[in-house]
Structure 1
Amino acid sequence: MLTIYNDQHALHQGKVEMFRGELVPCFEVPARVDHVRHELERRGLGPLQAPDAFDEALLAKVHAPRYLDFIAHAWDEWVALDAANATRDALPSYWPTRGMRTDVLPKSFPARLGLFAFDAGTPLMAGSWTAARHGAACAWTAAQRVIAGGERSAFALTRPPGHHAGADFFGGYCFVNNAAVAAQALRDTGVERVAVLDVDYHHGNGTQAIFYERSDVHFASLHGDPFTDYPYYLGHADERGAGKGEGFNHNLPLPRGTDFTAWRAALGTALDGIAKVKAGALVVSLGVDTFEGDPISGFRLKSDDYLRMGEDLARAGLPTVFVFEGGYAVAEVGVNAVNVLEGFAQK
């Protein structure tokens, strides 16, 4: 399997995040990708390549221009506020809530930071935009290679992850929605309907929001129940899409403690839905924080279960782009992610 690798990912390396009332070291660290890369190379699963030259105009098809402009210049504005900011990450302190205006863009940088962020757990630093931009290039390249290049599958190995980033907001460690970029790239190559399947423990709220009113991209997600788990405010089963997108959004929330038998049954339901909408290609938001040892999640999948997951995904019979998302049991993340890819490749 071809892997498109983001060699700029380590430019994004947060110092702290807000977690349950205190500033703690970031769970989302460069070693996550390093472990996956080393495992890919150890097993010889396929070549690693750099992304192709990327037309950033594609980003405006899934993200709002004013948001992209903000993220691209945020670090410079943060440092301009106070030279001492160059040594600390930017985290928001203010957020608009119900009844407040979000259509007017404040001049104040802290106000705009809060306007575009939905949590205080996603630090922004000097290299965040470069890393995120290169991540989008990886997702785009993987999609192009699968369809235009005639490959059966490709893997975008990148961080920061992307599935929590919406059209005009960041959070959940995500700035640019790589899965959405891949799906849009597949659409642009002529695939009539693309399916995005999110298997991360946390609901892909950003991906859902981007495609919620579209029928050309079907979104399905298996995740921790939003009544108890982040991102809390989306991911319920009754969210089915709106307008032209009604019926093309499929959430399967699962309780904490779910084991692989129950999880696999839900995956089968999601894949049945993808078959019914006659998708021509598949994007998998590949989070492996469903692992039993993950520090911020609650399912009970074991490492061998990820081989079975890959086999089930292969049975969909679709050209498939894998995009790396979450997984915070760092020592095991490489084995678990590559098990999915190997299971897929062997079918």
Structure 2
Amino acid sequence: MKVVHSPLHARHDGGKELHRGELVPCFEMPVRADYILKAVERAGLEVLEPRSFAHESLLRVHDAAFVEFLRTAHAEWRSLGKQGFMLPSGFPARGLRRDHIPSGINGRMGYYAFDASTPIVEGTWDAALAAAHCALTAAALVAEGEKSAYALCRPPGHHAGHALYGGYCFLNNAALAAQHLRDRGFARVAVLDVDYHHGNGTQDIFWERSDVLFVSIHATPETEYPYFLGYADERGAGAGEGYTLNLPLPRGTGWKEYSAALGASLDAIGTFSPEALVVSLGVDTYEGDPISAFKLAQEHYPLIGQRLAGLKLPTVFVQEGGYAVDEIGTNVAGVLEGFLGRR
């Protein structure tokens, strides 16, 4: 399995986030990717830098004006004499207009963001674009005949929607990978999201499509971020009705319950009969994760990889969450080595 990684991820650094009412240093930090990189290198996996892709590749899943906002936001911020990181201070909530995009940077920031936990810094665009190219490269490798590939993306992507950022995510790496596979001739693609948090952005992008099945195992939005999507009754709309499957689980879920949900997910994917699989690989399901509350142990991550391998599909792994920094590399490598049959 080839690993695609860019050192440009480190340019996204230095902001703070509003976490459960407190302004704190970001849990999503560069060292996360550094620890994963060391672990996959120890596992003997080949590491490649990403290829470059045309700007239009991003527009296959994202709104053009939204992408341009992300590309230019911090430069515009600086042009006003401001320094440091950007966080929104207002959002178009109920009763406010959502049909008009403000011209000012503060209004546009709130229009496109859905939380105050996702700071934009000077290097954010460089890092987000590099992460997107990592995902597209991994998908290209699989389209060219590799059985699997792993995109070591940072920042993550599954909370980013068609024209929406938040949850540490700016561009939706998993959706870009799935769309690239579709564009390369894979008629049906399944996206399985195993991050602790619901992949609301991926759901948004494929909500009305029947060619991409979106399945997510995550903590219940009744108590866990992103709170307002990820319920079991969300099943898609229009042509996509029935092609979204959410399996929310309560805080404190352990391996027995999680394994059952994983089995249901794999059954649904088998019924869909996809030609390729994209895995949004979050390991914040780990029992020691500082912002999550599942109880999976290190021994369970190779089991997840083994179960995924049982689908016998060309597979792209795309890195999402995981904030127990000391263990993140071991847990990610555990999934990949389990998938490869090494553990």
Q: What's the counterpart of residue 270 of structure 1?
A: 265
Q: Give the AA of the match of 2:53.
A: F
For the 8 Å contact 1:14–1:124, the answer to whether it is kept is no
Q: Give the RMSD, CA atoms, in angstroms.
A: 0.9
Deviates more, 1:310-319 or 1:48-57: 48-57
Q: What's the counterpart of residue 305 of structure 1?
A: 300
Q: What's the counterpart of residue 55 of structure 1?
A: 54
- Give the gaps of 5 or more residues in structure 2: none
Q: What's the counterpart of residue 140 of structure 2?
A: 144
Q: How many residues align?
A: 342
Q: What's the counterpart of residue 10 of structure 2?
A: 10
Instruction: Give the Å deviation of 1:177.
Output: 0.2
- Give the gaps of 5 or more residues in structure 1: none
CA shift digits 1:137-190 (9 cap, x unpaired): 110110010122x11100000200000000111000000000000000000000
Q: Give the AA of the match of 1:100.
A: L
Deviates more, 1:5-14 or 1:224-233: 5-14
Question: Residue 283 of structure 2: SS of its match in structure 1?
Answer: coil
Instruction: Give the Å deviation of 1:102.
Output: 2.2
The residue correspondences of 1:107-256 to structure 2 (distance < 5 A) are 107-148=103-144, 150-256=145-251
Instruction: Give the Å deviation of 1:97.
Output: 1.2
For the 8 Å contact 1:239–1:251, the answer to whether it is kept is yes
Separation of aligned partners in 2, 1:165 and 1:64: 11
Instruction: Give the Å deviation of 1:104.
Output: 1.7
For the 8 Å contact 2:152–2:318, the answer to whether it is kept is yes
Instruction: Give the Å deviation of 1:80.
Output: 1.3
Output the TM-score relative to the length of structure 1: 0.97
Separation of aligned partners in 1, 2:300 and 2:103: 50
CA shift digits 1:231-283 (9 cap, x unpaired): 00000000011000001000000011111111011011001101111111000
Deviates more, 1:12-21 or 1:170-179: 12-21
Runs of 4+ in 1 over 4 A off after TM superposition: none
CA shift digits 1:37-66 (9 cap, x unpaired): 00111121x210011121120111111111
Instruction: Give the Å deviation of 1:14.
Output: 3.3
Q: Give the AA of the match of 2:91.
A: W
Question: Residue 8 of structure 1: SS of its match in structure 2?
Answer: helix
For the 8 Å contact 1:94–1:111, the answer to whether it is kept is yes
For the 8 Å contact 1:163–1:207, the answer to whether it is kept is yes
Q: Give the AA of the match of 2:7.
A: D
The residue correspondences of 1:60-79 to structure 2 (distance < 5 A) are 60-79=59-78
Separation of aligned partners in 2, 1:152 and 1:180: 19
Q: What's the counterpart of residue 276 of structure 2?
A: 281
For the 8 Å contact 2:15–2:121, the answer to whether it is kept is no
Q: Give the AA of the match of 1:78.
A: W
Q: What's the counterpart of residue 290 of structure 1?
A: 285
For the 8 Å contact 2:15–2:120, the answer to whether it is kept is no
Deviates more, 1:97-106 or 1:55-64: 97-106
Q: Give the AA of the match of 2:233.
A: D
For the 8 Å contact 2:16–2:23, the answer to whether it is kept is yes
Q: Give the AA of the match of 1:64.
A: D
Q: What's the counterpart of residue 79 of structure 2?
A: 80
Q: Give the AA of the match of 1:236.
A: Y
Instruction: Give the Å deviation of 1:323.
Output: 0.2
Question: Residue 140 of structure 2: SS of its match in structure 1?
Answer: helix
% identical aligned pairs: 55
Question: Residue 304 of structure 2: SS of its match in structure 1?
Answer: helix
Separation of aligned partners in 2, 1:170 and 1:15: 15
Instruction: Give the Å deviation of 1:209.
Output: 0.5
Output the TM-score relative to the length of structure 2: 0.98
Separation of aligned partners in 2, 1:277 and 1:16: 41
For the 8 Å contact 1:197–1:220, the answer to whether it is kept is yes
Deviates more, 1:14-23 or 1:155-164: 14-23
Q: What's the counterpart of residue 31 of structure 1?
A: 31
